[in-house]
Structure 1
Amino acid sequence: MSPLPLPEPTPAAAPEADRYARGLARLREIDGDAGERVVDSLSAIAPDFARYLIEFPFGDIYSRPALGLREREIATVAALTALGNAAPQLKVHIQAALNVGVSRDEVVETIMQMAVYAGFPAALNGLSAAREVFAAPAAG
């Protein structure tokens, strides 16, 4: 039995340097300085992890063409809300959603939708995170 052929790489699959540059550009587009501060905070303790954080999620996944940044951030807010234990990351991505054109009402509706699938405690925690982000001076 011969091995299965590998699928053709998507345009997002590129050499390491390209992944990093593309990921850093995408991170800046989504999160501005806030994303870079997160990466910088990891540099002293886990510089490789900081690089992975730019290359994989932002250089590979967020750079794929089938979804826009609005859709990706709505999905991310939903997923982090459903996890129920990722408030710091949820707050970052609520702000990112606002940065890429998701309205406050859309953020709230996305979080409320998670009550159906992740339960009321997860949705309540998500709404609390949204309230904090909305109250901050940088909120859109």
Structure 2
Amino acid sequence: MQLLEQLAPSTADKVKTKLENFCPGASEIILGFAFTDVIARQGIDLRTREMLTIAMLSAMGTAPDQLDFHMRAAMSAGVTREEIVEIALQVAVYAGVPACINAINSATKAFDYFENS
């Protein structure tokens, strides 16, 4: 939960509550796996992990809310606007223009969020 809070301040409690309301123990299963077992590993730094995550979520095209979250998380982890633009363009080559447009839409929301915070 500490890592989730680092990436998206004030989000951790909301996510945990939502998952626990769905099913007691769900937050430990889902968030524990994602943020403790995988994302917190030492092999790749958090900034790089977030760049990989936004590339994969963009390419998948099936998780728009998670893409929005991770666009903001990536910027919180130090990924620059320019790097996000380059990732979105890379997505166009390997996942197609529609996936790139989705990435651009999500990135634009993240840019606006940080400009207006």
| TM over 0.5, shorter chain | yes
Higher share in helix: 2
Gaps spanning 5+ residues in structure 1: where? 1-23
CA RMSD in angstroms comes to: 1.8
Gaps spanning 5+ residues in structure 2: where? none
| 1:126 equivalent in structure 2 | 103
Code of the residue aligned with 1:46 in structure 2: it is C
**Aligned partner of 2:24 among 47, 52, 56:** 47
Per-residue CA shift, 1:48-105, capped at 9, x if unaligned? 3222122111011011111001000000000000011211100100000010100111
Show the 5 A alignment for 1:57-96: 57-96=34-73
How many Å separate the matches in 2 of 1:36 and 1:76? 22
Q: May I ask how many residue pairs the two structures share in their alignment?
A: 117
Asked if the contact 2:4–2:11 (Cα under 8 Å) also holds between the matched residues in 1, the reply is no
The structure with higher relative contact order (CA 8 Å, sep 6+) is 2
How many Å separate the matches in 2 of 1:94 and 1:137? 11
Asked if the contact 2:39–2:49 (Cα under 8 Å) also holds between the matched residues in 1, the reply is yes
How many Å separate the matches in 1 of 2:23 and 2:59? 27
Identical aligned pairs, as a percentage?
34
Asked if the contact 1:27–1:36 (Cα under 8 Å) also holds between the matched residues in 2, the reply is no
Runs of 4+, deviation exceeding 4 Å? 137-140
Q: Name the TM-score, length of structure 1 as normaliser.
A: 0.76
How many Å separate the matches in 2 of 1:139 and 1:101? 17
